[in-house]
Structure 1
Amino acid sequence: MKTTLRILLLAAAVAAAACARHRIIPDEKLAMIFRDAFLVNAYLSTESLSGDSLNVYEPIFDRYGYTVEDVQYTVASFSRRKSARLGDVVNRAADLLEQEGLIYDREVAVLDTVNNIARRRFTRTLRSDSLLRVERLRDTGLLRIRIPEVRPGDYAVSYRYRIDSADRNRNVRTGVWFERADSSRTANYTMLMRRGSDETFSRTLTADSSARTLVLDIFIFRDKPLTPRIDVRDLRITFTPDTALAVDSLYLEQSELGIFADEFFQAFAPDSLQLPL
Structure 2
Amino acid sequence: MRYITTFVLLLFLVACDSPKTIPNDDLANIFHDALLTNAYINQKSVKYDSLNIYEPILAKYGYTKEDMHYTLENFLRQKSAHLSDVITEVNDRLASEAAALRAAVVRVDTVRNVALRRARHTIFELEEPIVAKRKADTSRLIIKLPMQGAGEYIISACYTIAEKDEGTGRRFTANFLAGDSLTYHQYATIMHRVDSSELRTQFTINRTMAEKYDTLRLHFNDFATRRDKRPELSLVTVHSASVRFTPTEDVSIEQLFEEQFDDRIFSKRFIHSIEDEWLIVADSVVADSIAVEK
Give the TM-score normalised by the residue count of structure 2: 0.49
Q: What SS does structure 2 have at the residue aligned with 1:258? A: coil
1:258 to 239, 258, 263: 263
Secondary structure, aligned partner of 2:148: coil
Contact 1:178/1:214 (<8 A) preserved? yes
Please name the residue that 1:148 is paired with: 146
Other structure's SS at 1:127 match = strand
Verify the 8 A CA contact 2:164 2:235 in the aligned structure 1. yes
Amino acid at match of 1:131: P
Residue 177 of structure 1 and its aligned partner are, at CA, apart by 1.8
One-letter amino acid of the counterpart of residue 132, structure 2: V
Q: Shift in Å at residue 98 of structure 1?
A: 7.2
Look up the match of 1:228: 234
Rate the CA distance shift 1:226–1:187 in 2: closer, same or farther, 3 A: closer
SS in 2 for 1:214: strand
Distance 1:152 1:128 in 2: 20
Q: What corresponds to 2:175 in structure 1?
A: 177
* Pairing 1:63-102 to 2, within 5 Å after superposition: 100-102=101-103
2:163 to 162, 165, 174: 165
Q: Residues 199 and 249 from structure 1, CA distance in 2 versus in 1: closer, same or farther, beyond 3 angstroms?
A: same
Does the Cα contact within 8 Å between 1:178 and 1:207 map onto a contact in 2? no
Over 3 Å counting, the alpha-carbon distance change for 1:101 and 1:238 in structure 2 is: closer
Separation in structure 2 between the aligned mates of residue 154 and residue 116 of structure 1, nearest angstrom: 14
Q: Which residue of 1 aligns with 2:214?
A: 212
* Equivalent-residue separation in structure 1 for 2:157 and 2:239 (angstroms): 6
What amino acid maps onto 2:130 in structure 1?
A: L
| 1:150–1:214 contact (8 Å) kept in structure 2 | no
CA contact (8 A) 2:154 2:200 kept: yes
Evaluate the alpha carbon distance shift between residue 97 and residue 125 of structure 1 in structure 2; reply closer, same or farther with a 3 A threshold: farther
How far does the alpha carbon of each residue in 1:37-81 deviate from its partner, in whole angstroms, 9 at most, with x for none?
Answer: xxxxxxxxxxxxxxxxxxxxxxxxxxxxxxxxxxxxxxxxxxxxx
Q: Does the 8 Å CA contact 2:158/2:199 hold for their aligned counterparts?
A: yes
Equivalent residue, structure 1, for 2:249: 243
* Distance in 2 between residues matched to 1:119 and 1:260, nearest whole Å: 21
Count of residues in Structure 1 that have an aligned counterpart in Structure 2: 162
Contact 1:252 1:260 in 2 (8 A): no
> By how many angstroms is 1:162 displaced?
1.3
In structure 1, distance between residues paired with 2:217 and 2:99: 41
Q: 1:181 to 1:98 in 2, by over 3 A?
A: farther
Give the CA deviation at 1:217: 0.5
Per mean C-alpha deviation after superposition, the further-off stretch among 242-251 and 110-119 is: 110-119
Distance in 1 between the 2:184 and 2:100 partners?
A: 39
Larger Rg: 2
- 8 Å CA contact 2:166–2:231 kept in 1: the answer is no
Tell whether the 8 Å contact from 2:176 to 2:216 is kept in structure 1 after alignment.
Answer: yes
| Correspondence for 1:123 | 120
Instruction: Give the aligned residue type for 2:250.
Output: A
- Following superposition, the deviation at residue 243 of structure 1 comes to 1.2
**Once the 2 structures are TM-superposed, how far is the Cα of residue 187 of structure 1 from its aligned partner?**
5.1
How far off its partner does 1:200 sit?
1.0
CA contact (8 A) 1:152 1:242 kept: yes
Q: Report the 3-state secondary structure (helix = DSSP H, G, I; strand = E; otherwise coil) of the residue aligned with 2:174.
A: strand
Q: Distance in 2 between matches of 1:117 and 1:177?
A: 30
Q: How far has the Cα of 1:251 moved from its partner? A: 0.9
Contact 1:147 1:214 in 2 (8 A): yes
Deviation, structure 1 residue 227 = 1.4
Distance 2:265 2:214 in 1: 34
Q: TM-score, normalised by structure 1?
A: 0.51
Cα drift, residue 149 of structure 1: 4.0
Are 2:165 and 2:231, in contact at CA under 8 Å, matched by a contact in 1? no
